[in-house]
Amino acid sequence: MIIAAPRRFSGDTLVIASHNAGKVGEIAELLRPYARTFRSAGDLGLPEPEETGQTFAANAELKARAIALASGSVALADDSGLAVAALDGQPGIYSARWGGPGRDFLLAMTRVNDELGDSADRSAAFICALALAWPDGHCETVVGRVAGALVWPPRGSNGFGYDPMFVPCGHDQTFGELSAATKHALSHRADAFRQLVARCFG
């Protein structure tokens, strides 16, 4: 069986398939050495497609391919979320939806804590799938993760999403308390980006 070599990114403009300003900023910062110009789906007025996949990777690929086709440029999509061991991996791919129509993450974090109840198992992992897609439909996908434990009440105002309740292994501060530089070095997104850079940008 012949395995094709990964396709390398060779342009100067990368479209980030997201309307989430926090996510777009993090992604742009991580890839700044490799692309000259970053645009987002929001900048281009492109709607995010419905996430109908059953895994983080499937949803990332769906979004990246749709935005690459619509924009005519190479597009990068991320699908990420929190997987809680005692909740059988929930909220998982539904992490944002646990915050309701307004994606209220205080509501989402409260729901996670309520669902856990008095469970002694507070272990969880953030998972991030990254898909880099070309307008012809070709896609390169990687998956990163970081393990940790959940705390309550939430702590810190840095980051976004479930960051204020997640303490990565080996640390005593939440992602909401850690500096952006420290979080970027540790996070599931950073793990996925290391893999993607080695595969498509390095």
Active-site residues, by number, are 79
Q: How far apart are CA 150 and CA 84, in angstroms?
A: 9
Taking the C-alpha atoms of residue 202 and residue 196, their distance in angstroms, rounded to an integer, is: 9
DSSP state of 128: E
Closest to 16 in 3D by CA, of 30, 28, 32? 28
* 83: region left, alpha or beta (phi > 0 left; psi from -120 to 50 alpha): beta
CB 123 within 8 A of CB 166: no
∠ Cα 43 45 51 (to 5°): 105
Tell me the CA distances in angstroms from 4 to 1, 140, 186, 196, one per residue in order: 10, 11, 30, 16
Residues 6+ apart with CB under 8 A from 55: 93, 129
- Of residues 26, 57, 64, the one with CA closest to residue 141: 57
